[in-house]
Structure 1
Amino acid sequence: MAFDLFLYIADLIEKKYNKYFMHHSSADDYLLYFPHPPASTLSQWLEESNRITRHILENIPAADHIVPQLHILNPPLWEFGHLTWFHEFWVHRGGQVSNPSFMVDADHLFNSSEIAHEDRWSTPMPSLDSLLEYNLNVISSTQELLCKPIDNKAAYFIQPSIFHQDMHNEAFAYMWQTMGRPMPFLPLSDRSLSNENKQTWIHFPESSLEADSHQGSGFIFDNEKWAHTINAPSFDISSSPVTNAEYLTYLESASNLSQLEPAAPPKHWKKEDGLWFERFFDEWLPLDPLSAVRHINYFDAQHYCKVNGLRLPNEHELTILISQKSTAWQPSHLWEWTSSPFSPFPGFSPDPCTDYSLPWFNGKYQVLKGGSLYTPDRLKRAAFRNFYQPNRSDHFCGFRTCLL
């Protein structure tokens, strides 16, 4: 009996310690993400990101306020309200629901952790004008903060709020692409998708390297914690992403067509009078054979590799590649699939926004690296880990290959 009581007390102490340790780690870690950009730079980033968001919403026809209820989409007004709420909640309310919002019922309406995805279509939303005013109040308040130097804590909460908005701007872009709507905003990098360089295999010898992020290396997301040594066996990786021409050759190959369930063309491709076309937002363009193939899900990328006797790179291999000078390899202007499941690194602890990474370490997501035409350069860090469910192809995604 005494021994059982001892075990019970020990268990309580361990749980309390673990809870404290996780909270303590989170509270400390985000203050280690320095040096942070000066307030003037954060002000510029915020203005750029919010200008894009408001441009999208101010130019959306009323008929397009509602989109089909699909797991890959969100109602545009809800998405706009959510990204504004996120910024306000963390920057101006300290992550505390007890602190009042500029908008009544904002927590109930726009907290993505609380409102079920399917309920975002049926829950009455504020008007677009009300949401624009809410956004103006929140962003103006942050710009006032940035009129003077800020400390590490303020800089931390402002940065993920900007990056979160950047991600939602990109989500607007691939939602418009999915629905065949006109381009919502201009690409943020060179629109040229063609790869005119001859594909080669780049050899990397076996190496021991420190993967991911160090303390004091600037802002990071919690799933990048912390730098750890790994052994990377030698590998050979393609200098170029898989192109439309290569993917079409694969689709039309006997080895694919002989399968019980042969791979089908991407949903944004069509064939008319013997010619192939691909849709870019609301335009049907002749299929460019040299462009990186896009909107390919993880399973189809894996199948392409299997048929061709190749493999996908893991996230460390792709990180090694994209850390090299761009003259050595051809960017795809896409998020590129890796063979790595999205999982925590040694030393992981959640940051204050615990829902960013922790709920998705469930083996149902794959890591992607790189960035698309609609990803700002500030998010295109070699250590950044994007992640999506492997059956999704609506985002701007592609892949490159490694030799077996």
Structure 2
Amino acid sequence: MTDPAPDADVLRERALASLTAARARTTLLTGCVEDPDLTAQHSPLMSPLVWDLAHIGNQEEQWLLRAVAGQEALRPEIDSLYDAFEHPRAERPRLPLLPPGEARRYVAEVRGRALDVLAGAAFRGTRLTEAGFVFGMIAQHEQQHDETMLITHQLRRGPRALTAPDPEPGPPFTGPAEVLVPGGPFTMGTSAEPWALDNERPAHRREVAPFRIDTTPVTNAAYQAFIEDGGYDDPRWWAPEGWAHVRRHSITAPLFWRRDGGQWLRRRFGVTEVVPPDEPVLHVCWYEADAYARWAGRRLPTEAEWEKAARYDPAGDRSRRYPWGDADPLPEHANLGQRHLRPAPAGSYPAGESPLGVRQLIGDVWEWTASDFLPYPGFRAFPYREYSEVFFGSAYKVLRGGSFAVDAVACRGTFRNWDHPVRRQIFSGFRTARSEED
């Protein structure tokens, strides 16, 4: 027996809430600095904030106003300026971008018309509109760019522009260092989640051998031990490409870290602070995560292992939506949505624990896996190839679980992220695993 499909009013309310939350966050991220900061490029790895702002509006116009409602283009001449595949990030400051005031007016006009489209939506008839998928896709797209803009804020020099309360302190975690994930098949991916994106589909059975996985992400203290043991100076721990990369760029610690006498400091959103030992390590690339795991006598989990640890419920032999169950995330489950501007201490959120006892699989830090970004059996690109298909291959590694910068609408047990293995500006950490026979 399947759950009844939500009615149109429920879908409309969910879509409106998701779009409204995303726009409030976009407004915060673009309204907390002056216009020169919006038009500046704070790193060649990132777009100017004003590009992200207008790109958000342009995507919303193309899909909600043109594709769904059949409206004429508001600003057809700007489509190519905000095509992420036509212009690499490093080139975008030289484009004739909409200035901040004009960009704000444009995205506001698009949103006003989009809400009219939502008010009359039938949520049926095409795969694009079924269950409000296209509205969910646009809300997720905006939240993904909000995370990108938060990364830009971290890279930005100057006084702090954003503030948020720290996570509530809890008792130190004293549980086991690792847990056993039983071998056998489980259901990976989804065919039922209405707003799941194409690379999460379809659901399929995957066989996984028994393995052990860290109960929590690797902490700053544990990573410091790797540094102090000469981890960055010993090629034994590094993949050849990773060793060449860290030597070429003189990388000796996570991004934003520096040593001051006998302690490590980090820069976090305009503030310099002592690196907190109990937080999950942040801003490490895949090569660094892989090297640490080798040094520790372990390895990174595969993507399938990570998902089984996060979703598999042995009591019912089924896969959950989230580690804690099928209910949407609440604040006690995970550190999501830019509610805080840092990870919570390792071992936090016991209410978010998986049935197998693994913690913080959702939120806090994106977790590198050992796997390349590849399609699932039966994958079909939808609604366009450029969302996932053009990235499949060995050039990208999969990250799972989301970070404190990810909104719940763009994070679930099946959600897949990917990036180049050299990327460190992203909010990335990791946990390690080992095969049961090791």
User: Normalising by structure 1, what TM-score?
Assistant: 0.84
Task: Tell me the residue number matched to 1:41.
Answer: 14
Q: Deviations over 1:113-139 (max 9, x none)?
A: 333444312111222111111111111
Distance 2:366 2:178 in 1: 20
Distance 1:193 1:364 in 2: 39
The total of aligned residue pairs comes to 368
Distance 1:302 1:163 in 2: 29
The one-letter code sitting in structure 2 at the alignment partner of 1:111 is D
From 90, 94, 102, the equivalent of 1:122 is 94
Point out the structure with max Rg over C-alpha.
1
Q: Percent of aligned positions with the same letter in both sequences?
A: 24
* Contact 1:193–1:291 under 8 Å retained in 2: no
Please tell me whether residue 318 in structure 1 is matched to residue 318 in structure 2. Answer: no
Distance 2:202 2:163 in 1: 35
Task: Tell me the residue number matched to 1:88.
Answer: 61
Task: Tell me the residue number matched to 2:140.
Answer: 163
Structure 1 pair 54–142 and aligned structure 2 pair: CA distance change class (3 A) = same
Distance 1:353 1:184 in 2: 36
From 92, 108, 111, the equivalent of 2:80 is 108
Please tell me whether residue 230 in structure 1 is matched to residue 259 in structure 2. Answer: no
Q: Within 5 A, what are the aligned runs for 1:192-341?
A: 196-198=172-174, 199-214=176-191, 216-254=192-230, 257-259=233-235, 264-323=252-311, 324-325=323-324, 326-327=352-353, 328-331=357-360, 333-341=364-372
User: Normalising by structure 2, what TM-score?
Assistant: 0.78
The one-letter code sitting in structure 2 at the alignment partner of 1:307 is W
Distance 1:195 1:264 in 2: 32
From 145, 156, 163, the equivalent of 2:117 is 145
From 338, 359, 369, the equivalent of 2:390 is 359
* Contact 2:46–2:89 under 8 Å retained in 1: no
1:402 deviates by: 0.5
The one-letter code sitting in structure 1 at the alignment partner of 2:188 is A
Distance 2:171 2:398 in 1: 24
1:362 deviates by: 2.8
1:76 deviates by: 1.4
Distance 1:219 1:131 in 2: 28
Structure 1 pair 182–400 and aligned structure 2 pair: CA distance change class (3 A) = farther
Please tell me whether residue 373 in structure 1 is matched to residue 398 in structure 2. Answer: no
1:269 deviates by: 1.1
Distance 1:127 1:68 in 2: 14
Q: Identify unmatched segments of 5+ residues in structure 1.
A: 1-33
Task: Tell me the residue number matched to 1:4.
Answer: none
SS of match in other structure, 1:164:
helix
Structure 1 pair 271–118 and aligned structure 2 pair: CA distance change class (3 A) = closer
SS of match in other structure, 1:229:
strand
From 131, 154, 157, the equivalent of 2:103 is 131
| CA RMSD, 1 decimal | 2.6
Q: Deviations over 1:237-293 (max 9, x none)?
A: 000111000000110115654558596111211222322212211011111110100
